[in-house]
Amino acid sequence: MNAEKRKKISKQMSYVLRHQPDSVGLTLAPGGWVAVDKLLAALKISRETLDEVVATNDKQRFEYSEDAMQIRARQGHSAQVDLQYEAATPPDLLFHGTATRFLESIFEKGLIKGERHHVHLSTDRETMIAVGSRHGKPVVLEVDAKQMVSDGSKFFVTGNQVWLTDHVPPRYLRELS
């Protein structure tokens, strides 16, 4: 399968597993899980194809259950589902990539999750530049996760090292030059 074909299937999977499972007659079980055989039937692809897309996905967006009978998106959902993340203690500093055009609003309201379940943060500045570039001229914000934890914020980490939280108030944010 070529990279273009893999990307197309990955996008379909993101749509179904994060946003609109009902568009193909599926529902997400707690944790965001869907039976693999149902997803294969819905997307009309083989298990071999699915395995290849999951294994080669640039951001490791999807994961199988331990018995490999179920699959889910690791994060990024807007569909209503209890994702059952377990709280974890983040590193002292995290980063968020965004576009310069959002900064004024971000320093007014903080980082908000919008349609998604959480605000997405990372330990990796480089990745965050790429994430910000999706929206315009990229800029990276430093998040004082240590202070947030001591002030009572909860964090979650996904299997591909994306850190999630509910809201980052402006006082914990600093623009990196």
Of 5 and 11, the one with the shorter C-beta distance to ligand HQG is 11
Task: Return the number of other C-beta atoms located less than 10 Å from residue 25's C-beta.
Answer: 10
| Whether 30 contacts 88, CB under 8 Å | no
Min dist CB 127 to ligand HQG, Å, is 7
| CA–CA distance, 146 with 153 (Å, rounded to integer) | 10
| Whether 78 contacts 123, CB under 8 Å | no
Min dist CB 75 to ligand HQG, Å, is 7
Min dist CB 38 to ligand HQG, Å, is 22
How many residues are there in the chain?
177
Of 99 and 149, the one with the shorter C-beta distance to ligand HQG is 99
Of 25 and 159, the one with the shorter C-beta distance to ligand HQG is 159
Q: 16 in helix, strand or coil?
A: helix
Min dist CB 137 to ligand HQG, Å, is 11
Spatial neighbors of 55 by CB under 8 A, at least 6 apart, are: none
Summarize as ranges the residues that interact with ligand HQG (CB under 6 A): 59, 61, 76, 98-99, 102, 105-106, 109, 111-112, 114, 116, 120, 131, 135, 162
The CA-atom distances, in angstroms, between 144 and each of 19, 106, 169 are 30, 15, 10
Of 37 and 126, the one with the shorter C-beta distance to ligand HQG is 126
Question: Cα-Cα-Cα-Cα dihedral of 126, 127, 130, 132, to 10°?
Answer: -100
Min dist CB 74 to ligand HQG, Å, is 8
Min dist CB 112 to ligand HQG, Å, is 4
Of 8 and 109, the one with the shorter C-beta distance to ligand HQG is 109
Of 6 and 61, the one with the shorter C-beta distance to ligand HQG is 61
Structure tokens at 174: 């600093």
